[in-house]
Amino acid sequence: MPKQVDDADKKLNPTPLLDELEDGKWPSFISGYKEWIKQSGNTMTRGVLDQLQYSYETKMGYWKGGVVGVHGYGAGVISRYSMIPDKYPEAKEFHTMRVQPAPGLHYSTKKLNEILDVWEKYGSGLLSMHGQTGNLQLQGIDQDSVQECFDELNKLGWDLGGAGATVRTGASCVGPARCEMACYDSLNAHYQVLSYFTDLIHRPQLPYKAKFKFSGCPNDCSNSIQRADYAVIGTWKDDIQMDEAEVAAFIADKGVEYLVNNVITRCPTDAITLENGSIAIENSDCVRCMHCINVMPKALSPGKERGITLLVGGKGHLKVGNMLGSVMIPFLKMDGQEDIDNLIDIIDRMIDWWAEEALDHERIGECIERVGMVAFLEAAGIETTVDMIAHPRDNPYFKADHDHNPQIKSIA
Amino acid sequence: MPKQVDDADKKLNPTPLLDELEDGKWPSFISGYKEWIKQSGNTMTRGVLDQLQYSYETKMGYWKGGVVGVHGYGAGVISRYSMIPDKYPEAKEFHTMRVQPAPGLHYSTKKLNEILDVWEKYGSGLLSMHGQTGNLQLQGIDQDSVQECFDELNKLGWDLGGAGATVRTGASCVGPARCEMACYDSLNAHYQVLSYFTDLIHRPQLPYKAKFKFSGCPNDCSNSIQRADYAVIGTWKDDIQMDEAEVAAFIADKGVEYLVNNVITRCPTDAITLENGSIAIENSDCVRCMHCINVMPKALSPGKERGITLLVGGKGHLKVGNMLGSVMIPFLKMDGQEDIDNLIDIIDRMIDWWAEEALDHERIGECIERVGMVAFLEAAGIETTVDMIAHPRDNPYFKADHDHNPQIKSIA
Amino acid sequence: MQKRTYQTQESGLPHHMEMLHPVSRKNYGQWKYHERPRPGVLKHVAHGGDILYTVRAGTHRQVTIPIVRRLCKLADKYADGHLRWTVRNNVEFMTPNEANIAPLISELEALGHPVGGTGPSVSAIAHTQGWLHCDIPATDASGVAKSVMDALYDDFVKEEMPNRVRLATSCCEINCGGQADIAIVVQHTRPPRINHNILKDICEMPSTVARCPVAAIRPTTVNGKPSLMVVEEKCIYCGACFGACPAMEINHPEHSKFAVWVGGKNSNARSKPSNMRLVCHGLANNPPRWPEVTQVLKNILSAYKNGGKDWERLGEWIDRIGWKRFFEETGLPFDKYMIDNYRHARTSFNQSAHIRF
Amino acid sequence: MQKRTYQTQESGLPHHMEMLHPVSRKNYGQWKYHERPRPGVLKHVAHGGDILYTVRAGTHRQVTIPIVRRLCKLADKYADGHLRWTVRNNVEFMTPNEANIAPLISELEALGHPVGGTGPSVSAIAHTQGWLHCDIPATDASGVAKSVMDALYDDFVKEEMPNRVRLATSCCEINCGGQADIAIVVQHTRPPRINHNILKDICEMPSTVARCPVAAIRPTTVNGKPSLMVVEEKCIYCGACFGACPAMEINHPEHSKFAVWVGGKNSNARSKPSNMRLVCHGLANNPPRWPEVTQVLKNILSAYKNGGKDWERLGEWIDRIGWKRFFEETGLPFDKYMIDNYRHARTSFNQSAHIRF
Ligand code: SRM
Ligand code: SRM
Ligand code: SRM
Ligand code: SRM
Ligand code: SF4
Ligand code: SF4
Ligand code: SF4
Ligand code: SF4
Ligand code: SF4
Ligand code: SF4
Ligand code: SF4
Ligand code: SF4
């Protein structure tokens, strides 16, 4: 439970370096914290601010980890103990509870206020909306309050997110809720996939973390390709939908030179040519990059045969250098429950393989790189296709069957 | 000295499989060989053809190496002994002499006939014009004739090429002799650089082979980037020369759509835009790829401030996979002797470093990759510039000086 | 703590439908196109004709109960009791009612929330925990973020960049901020010092040894006890060991510096997604305002703003003009450390005669 | 051999000036532009107005004294006593005299030399030594080259491709033919068998061990004598050891097969130079006519000819249409072996959502 001091003068200690962050036009977190401390008299927050001032003076951090959790779960609370509790006893404990928000970070004020009410009762009053992975982070609670706080939140329908060697909280773009580009119901997929993995979110049973992000289209507004082990990106198979009248209106408005220099020359595969003063799209050359659609959203839209591409292995640079996800499932339609079950089934097989194969602290992308993409795909029962590579190998160092004998279709 | 048989019937043994290569419209080397054997009665050639027929039957090769050379040299002759001399005694020996031709593979008939005269006297009568590296290969001589044959050739101004752990015979495109694209005197550079290394061509003193190729412009008609450790490629620094009248004539002839779809959209850096129905080139974005000049050779030509780029490390895929040369000297003017001396000096330092640093059988490209580009450049006394890379590193794993403190110029 | 009677509902994440604005729910998946009436405002039009306006505003991300309550109040007043956050910590209010836009913007601005971040603007910087909460930070993330965004305020509220710009900052080399058009990341410049006093008690030695990417950590004996040592020639100062064992003290008030990275791109628009690349390092870790870091960002953004063509992301602008001009035009010094020597170094060499002069 | 009295002149390569056609010498470095009047003929115009025609013709590369003498005679008759070879083993005659062209072409054709190889044609295939001369070949290069060029004769004498096409063939995995738009290269499919009978006498064991890229060769003892063994799980069948030691018998009449590679590009035109990639393997090594190999080449070239746009090199055509359509349109089967698993494998993964359907 938060401790409070009521004497207005004592609510804040001097934090001269931090105070410099109250200047400037961007919202100041320091001003926010000070306002709150002044209002609440929350001593944990005061202690944290004092320790932060000390960090600014000494240019060093003073938190260490530990083990704090809720009944039955092995993850979801990031525990923080001050390394200098004698100096800042009020900051002795400052644990964070990671709460999973709804897909797309949508809230009703009713539900959000409910969280705030509980947090006001148990916590520091600080929160982070949102963490980079996608959690609503309730920052600053002591060990004794964690369980009660969680129970109250849980009663209201909230649950903890992942941490450590678990499936992590997912993230998704605004998707079909407000975006005309969305090629599948990314929010529903997010909801279903992450619900399925709830057990793996709460209990560390994996070699390392596993993250999911969902983007409605290749614009990838959820940054899935680099920030998620499993990136689910909407796409389409048939032709770009073109509204001829709107194309003409665009050209009338902007001119042919604008069209050439901003649309035609920017297509990555030269799939668009100038024909009779307008554009012709060779859809079989189109790589679904979105650019022409982005520039002309009234005139062009994704095709009608829609689904997702699954890219696996995105992550930060630890150990092997930054990794972008690689295509492992080029296309999966995503129209109903069956399709989502299918996606879950595929990911399940991938996770099973990884759980068996990975070294400690090895993300699936690193593991695939070490073991080889084909070995991974075969073990996960996924057909290898040419869409999974940018190009075939450029070295002859492989071991085919001795009796490999390709069947060449005679053409022409 | 060639042995001959005079009896017309005995000049050729049956070679049924090889005879199938006499069909078809492309010149048949088998027909050529048979013609020559019938004309000369050369028994070495007959034996070689017989052994080749046997190879076609058994699908195996039957040559092994050895050591054959000329006085004072350690390279230049590729020795071949039959592994089945009992079966084909006439093919017992079949050594090749690699002769360095003039840059650009230009000949006067006088000089070429002189070679043929000598070869007729000593050799099998077979030759290869030219080997992939660029040698005129005189194929088929016995050990006893090699020295005399060489002496006669040498009197006529010919010398042997490289083999084994030497600098190899160079190659160059037709260059200024007949090409409007040539940005430097590639034939002269070829001549001078290879002359300078004559000693290293004749005597193996290096960790492995070192190849040179010279192309007058980035079209790289000598294939230098992949096939040479040292690729010397012409380029220019200032603006592409444009003949406005010829540009207009081109557009009048081909039309704007052709211009857009074949020139503008094909520029790799979008340096060309459509302006007022014609092209505008932003020369500072141009990467000297040659494309627009190739399409419009009357209208566009390389700039006037010309020189070369030196790329280092091209080679076949042995061990590390195919390697393309990498820029190590972005630009060097190449106007006179001093510039050529400068180039030679730079290459000399590179070779010295490599000779020190390389593992056995390690080409310079592999060595640079293993040791690091910067270590190489520093040892060779070459300034590192950003032109040497496609992009800066994408991982944070480097060790700068602790007190590194970049001087940032304040702009705007 | 009282005896617990409540039985956890392992409910997982809440469903989104109840959270959505009613117009959004009604037109779910039925959107046709969008326009941007002004910076910070989007107009989405549904196939059925419904219109939904969105107002986007910057926040501090590290917020407090009163801040969020105030935002909820605005949502109640202008956005039918719904609001959302973007992946970049901006808050969004949706309304079908055009008349709500102006007063909502005024109130947001009055509360100190800048309205913007849409279209070709610099959106809010993605940042991390820092000294405020993390156990391994070399700097404070929120402070850097605030300092940077103060400097780029105008670029957030206007749409004057060639294309959208995403920034990130991270408080250790691990880079929880993820990649971005421009990322500011702590860079260590020396091996960890080993705190042998605590190591013996807290270190799971085998897993610390295993964490090192270059096998620079070796078992040794210190004062007769098993301990660890770092082979300094091998160590690449990555800090991975510190995450495994707090005795591997990688952070240093002077020698943990900042590096700046550019050209990270996650979207597939035009060019394939690309990794961000190092363009500056050795910048002082200088609280409370980090002026050196801010200067570098301003240089880069002003050069990009001047030189970029419409729709060119920062990395694509560089792809066109070349890295040499990037360094010239931003005033940043290129140096040899930027030439890769790690695992895939060869793939970053210029294996072509393509050069800009 | 008689006692040698001659003192070697270490003269190096001959100078080019004396070798050049007089018009070439006169206008050296003064060329203005060129045209292609017909396949196999170039017209170069100098700034001063001089014109030089070139006639290009295919040869067998593996030639003989009478063949070269006949070419010299043609050069004397039509090209002022000069001739040259191209880097692709074609012969070129130059003349300022337009009237010489037609009779020169007739005579060349009468001698069996096809005139062509210019502009967007398939030029002569670069090839290597094979069973004719090399000590490590698994096939014959000249025979493959002849078979292929017979099949592509029309593509040499016409200019009907999207852009110039370069072919190469190599008689072992080492690939002396170099890279090309389409390369046909021997591919081993099993580890070397060790010939222990000869190994002990001829093998420099440490250097053979060192030659292996994957450390698959280990010292061992056979019949009490030091020898070598190959760890078969590690071996990648590269054949490098065979070059070092003839006892490492990698070649096999059935199991050394052919692979086909495409998209190698050395020129810097448009795209950067690129490495060629594997698109077919396991093709029989089938002398004297190698019909399987020829079929694959014909398939690839006919698809490229149909689908390529002007100026697109073969690899650039694939970059546009994508590898999937390449395999569809050429009738070649894609298989898992084409997915890289060597040192830089990751860089060949599709790290983007760019996909063609
Ligand atoms: C809280 C958060 C930063 C923030 O303020 O937003 C964060 C904080 C930490 N990250 Fe992170 N990471 C956070 C998002 C990320 C992201 C971005 C993302 O998820 O989209 C990444 C890059 C993507 C990725 O997963 O690779 C990220 C890459 C890492 C890594 C490097 C992983 C790698 O393989 O490269 C580590 C190191 C590790 O796990 O050992 C790490 C480790 C950590 C730890 C647990 C440090 C540690 O080992 O003790 C930090 C706990 C801080 C704290 O006190 O709360 N964090 N971390 C983010 C999670 C909030 C949330 O749950 O919503
Ligand atoms: C609201 C948001 C999704 C969300 O669920 O929160 C969103 C919303 C839209 N994005 Fe996005 N993007 C959002 C984050 C992103 C991100 C991720 C990020 O910011 O970290 C990316 C990937 C960035 C990258 O490559 O690293 C992203 C890359 C794009 C692109 C591709 C831009 C490009 O050319 O590379 C488009 C297309 C466009 O600009 O027309 C796009 C387009 C759009 C459109 C126009 C889609 C639509 O038709 O509605 C939306 C309005 C954007 C606007 O601001 O003008 N959105 N967009 C995110 C707003 C973030 C913010 O507060 O600033
Ligand atoms: C003769 C020739 C093929 C031809 O018929 O044209 C040839 C023939 C041989 N090459 Fe080559 N290479 C020939 C050009 C090349 C080229 C192309 C080039 O030089 O432009 C390459 C690719 C570029 C390169 O240098 O990497 C080439 C890459 C190799 C390699 C692989 C080197 C690597 O690092 O990947 C070897 C293996 C070795 O050296 O151990 C090799 C080895 C050999 C050996 C010496 C095989 C051996 O180890 O015994 C061959 C001798 C054959 C013989 O009996 O004459 N040859 N070799 C070419 C030289 C003729 C000449 O001097 O004009
Ligand atoms: C004669 C020759 C140089 C020599 O010293 O022998 C030569 C001569 C010319 N080349 Fe080349 N190239 C010659 C081999 C090459 C090679 C190397 C090769 O064939 O092995 C290449 C690199 C191929 C590669 O990328 O791997 C080469 C890539 C080019 C290009 C770039 C083509 C492209 O778009 O990628 C051009 C530009 C063009 O086509 O206009 C070019 C252009 C030319 C021009 C038009 C240059 C000029 O203005 O005179 C010459 C007439 C070509 C024609 O055939 O129409 N030449 N050219 C070579 C003839 C080979 C042959 O017999 O077929
Ligand atoms: S990823 Fe696509 S669907 Fe999702 S918000 Fe961005 S543009 Fe819309
Ligand atoms: S979506 Fe991208 S690849 Fe497809 S046509 Fe448009 S610009 Fe080209
Ligand atoms: S490389 Fe350039 S200069 Fe040399 S022949 Fe080819 S086009 Fe001409
Ligand atoms: S030479 Fe190449 S890069 Fe330069 S303008 Fe022409 S097409 Fe563009
Ligand atoms: S970047 Fe490093 S210091 Fe910052 S939150 Fe992530 S793990 Fe902690
Ligand atoms: S800092 Fe990185 S490289 Fe150095 S010892 Fe620690 S884990 Fe290894
Ligand atoms: S490719 Fe192999 S077999 Fe053929 S010549 Fe070269 S080294 Fe000999
Ligand atoms: S074939 Fe290659 S990989 Fe196999 S043992 Fe020989 S050198 Fe090693």
State pLDDT tens for residues B14-33. 999 999 999 999 999 999 99
pLDDT score recorded for residue B401: 83
pLDDT score recorded for residue D223: 87
* Nearest Cβ partner for D189 among A386, A400, A408: A400
pLDDT score recorded for residue A333: 97
Cβ–Cβ < 8 Å for D205, D243: no
The minimum CA-CA distance between C272 and chain D, rounded to whole Å, is 6
pLDDT score recorded for residue D2: 58
User: Up-side HSE of residue B385: CA atoms within 13 Å toward CB?
Assistant: 16
pLDDT score recorded for residue B410: 83
Q: Which residues, listed in sequence order, are joined to residue A172 by a DSSP beta bridge?
A: A214
Cβ burial of A322 (10 Å; 0-12, 13-18, 19+) is buried
Mutate to test the pocket of ligand 9, among C61, C62, C128 (most ligand atoms within 8 A of CB): C128
Cβ–Cβ < 8 Å for D268, C354: yes
Cβ burial of A239 (10 Å; 0-12, 13-18, 19+) is middle
pLDDT score recorded for residue D286: 97
- Please tell me the least confidently modeled range out of C326-335, D176-185, D213-222: D213-222
The minimum CA-CA distance between A260 and chain D, rounded to whole Å, is 18
Instruction: Note whether A361 contacts C28, CB cutoff 8 Å.
Output: no
User: What would the mean pLDDT of B23-51 be, rounded to a whole number?
Assistant: 97
Residue A8 confidence class, pLDDT cut points 50, 70, 90: confident
Chain A residue with minimal CA distance to C2? A148
pLDDT score recorded for residue A39: 95
Mutate to test the pocket of ligand 8, among B250, B274, B278, B293 (most ligand atoms within 8 A of CB): B293
Q: Which tens digit of pLDDT belongs to each residue from B90-139?
A: 999 999 999 999 999 999 999 999 999 999 999 999 999 999 999 999 99
CA distance C12 to A161: 8
Cα distances (Å, whole numbers) of residue D179 to A30, B312, D186, D187, D273: 62, 17, 13, 15, 11
* Nearest Cβ partner for C153 among A26, A144, A324: A26
Cβ–Cβ < 8 Å for D193, D241: no
The minimum CA-CA distance between D196 and chain B, rounded to whole Å, is 17
User: Up-side HSE of residue D61: CA atoms within 13 Å toward CB?
Assistant: 24
Nearest-atom number in ligand 8 for the CA of D270 is: 2
Taking contacts as CB-CB distances below 8 angstroms, the residues of chain D near B71 are 4, 8
Token digits of residue D340: 């890289």
CA distance C11 to B35: 89
Smallest-distance ligand from the CA of A236: 6
CA distance A122 to A144: 10
The answer on pLDDT for A412 being more than 70 is no
CA distance C71 to C80: 12
User: Up-side HSE of residue D203: CA atoms within 13 Å toward CB?
Assistant: 27
User: What would the mean pLDDT of C122-134 be, rounded to a whole number?
Assistant: 97
Cβ–Cβ < 8 Å for B211, B168: yes
Mutate to test the pocket of ligand 11, among D131, D171, D261 (most ligand atoms within 8 A of CB): D171
pLDDT score recorded for residue B9: 79
Q: Residues 6 or more apart from C35 whose CB is under 8 A from it?
A: C42, C43, C45
The answer on pLDDT for C2 being more than 70 is no
pLDDT score recorded for residue D261: 98
Q: Which tens digit of pLDDT belongs to each residue from C79-115?
A: 999 999 999 999 999 999 999 999 999 999 999 999 9
Among B290, B393, B407, most C C-beta atoms within 10 A, so best to mutate, is B393
User: What would the mean pLDDT of D273-297 be, rounded to a whole number?
Assistant: 97
Token digits of residue A271: 């799939």
CA distance B239 to C281: 34
CA distance B162 to B152: 19
How many Å lie between the centroid of ligand 12 and the Cα of residue D241?
6
Q: Which residues, listed in sequence order, are joined to residue A77 by a DSSP beta bridge?
A: A97
Nearest-atom number in ligand 11 for the CA of D129 is: 5
CA distance B247 to B250: 5
CB within 8 Å of chain D, chain B residues 272-291 = 287-291
Q: Which tens digit of pLDDT belongs to each residue from C45-75?
A: 999 999 999 999 999 999 999 999 999 999 9
Q: Is the peptide bond before C103 cis (omega within 30 degrees of 0)?
A: no
pTM: 0.96
Q: Residues 6 or more apart from C177 whose CB is under 8 A from it?
A: A132, C126, C127, C128, C141, C168, C169, C170, C183, C185
Smallest-distance ligand from the CA of B181: 7
CA distance B127 to B63: 18
Angle D345-B311-D313 (CA atoms, 0-180°, nearest 5)? 65
Helix (H, G, I), strand (E, B) or coil at B3: coil
**A212-215 vs A230-236, strand pairing mode:** parallel
Estimate the crossing angle of helix D291-307 against helix D323-330, to 10 degrees.
Answer: 120
Residue C131 is given by DSSP the state G
Q: Which residues, listed in sequence order, are joined to residue A224 by a DSSP beta bridge?
A: none
Instruction: Return the sign of the alpha-carbon dihedral for residues D113, D115, D118, D123.
Output: negative
> Does the beta carbon of C209 lie inside 6 Å of ligand 10?
no
Smallest-distance ligand from the CA of D244: 3
The answer on pLDDT for D1 being more than 70 is no
Residue nearest to atom 8 of ligand 10 (CA): C212
Max Cα distance, chain B (Å): 91
Q: Which residues, listed in sequence order, are joined to residue B232 by a DSSP beta bridge?
A: B214, B310
Residue with tokens 């064992």: C245
* Nearest Cβ partner for B409 among C278, C283, C331: C331
Q: Which tens digit of pLDDT belongs to each residue from D159-207?
A: 999 999 999 999 999 999 999 999 999 999 999 999 998 998 899 999 9
CA distance D8 to A22: 86
Q: Which tens digit of pLDDT belongs to each residue from A359-381?
A: 989 999 999 999 999 999 999 99
Dihedral angle, C-alpha B119, B124, B125, B131, nearest 10 °:
-90
Rounded to the nearest integer, the mean pLDDT of chain D is 96
Cβ burial of D343 (10 Å; 0-12, 13-18, 19+) is middle
Among B31, B128, B304, most D C-beta atoms within 10 A, so best to mutate, is B128
CA distance B337 to B274: 42
CA distance D31 to D23: 11
What percent of chain B is helix, strand and coil (3-state, nearest 5)? 40, 20, 45
Helix (H, G, I), strand (E, B) or coil at D182: strand
Q: Which residues, listed in sequence order, are joined to residue B278 by a DSSP beta bridge?
A: B275
Residue B367 is inside which H or E element, if any? helix B364-371
User: Up-side HSE of residue B367: CA atoms within 13 Å toward CB?
Assistant: 26
First to last CA, chain D: 72
Share of chain C above pLDDT 70, in %: 99
CA distance A314 to C289: 33
- Residue among C20, C267, C93, C86 at smallest CA distance from A176: C20
Whether chain C has a CB inside 8 Å of the CB on D344: the answer is: yes
Residue nearest to atom 9 of ligand 1 (CA): C176
Predicted-complex ipTM score? 0.96
> Does the beta carbon of B233 lie inside 6 Å of ligand 7?
no
Cα distances (Å, whole numbers) of residue B400 to A330, B79, B396, C183, C260: 41, 51, 10, 19, 14
Chain D residue with minimal CA distance to C343? D344
Helix (H, G, I), strand (E, B) or coil at C147: helix
Q: Which tens digit of pLDDT belongs to each residue from B308-324?
A: 999 999 999 898 899 99
First to last CA, chain C: 72
pLDDT score recorded for residue B302: 98
Rounded to the nearest integer, the mean pLDDT of chain C is 96
CA distance C353 to B116: 39
Range with the largest mean pLDDT of A58-62, B258-262, D242-246: A58-62
Instruction: Note whether B294 contacts D269, CB cutoff 8 Å.
Output: yes
Residue C4 confidence class, pLDDT cut points 50, 70, 90: confident
Taking contacts as CB-CB distances below 8 angstroms, the residues of chain B near D311 are 262, 266, 291, 294-295
Residue nearest to atom 4 of ligand 12 (CA): D235
pLDDT score recorded for residue C136: 94
- Residue among A302, A343, D355 at smallest CA distance from C29: A302
Residue B1 confidence class, pLDDT cut points 50, 70, 90: confident
CA distance B373 to B350: 12
CA distance A69 to A75: 7
User: Up-side HSE of residue B161: CA atoms within 13 Å toward CB?
Assistant: 28
Which of A68 and D5 is assigned the larger pLDDT?
A: A68
User: What would the mean pLDDT of B166-188 be, rounded to a whole number?
Assistant: 98
**B136-141 vs B126-129, strand pairing mode:** antiparallel
User: What would the mean pLDDT of A136-148 be, rounded to a whole number?
Assistant: 97
CA distance D290 to D308: 27
Q: Which tens digit of pLDDT belongs to each residue from C241-292?
A: 998 999 999 999 999 999 999 999 999 999 999 999 999 999 999 999 999 9
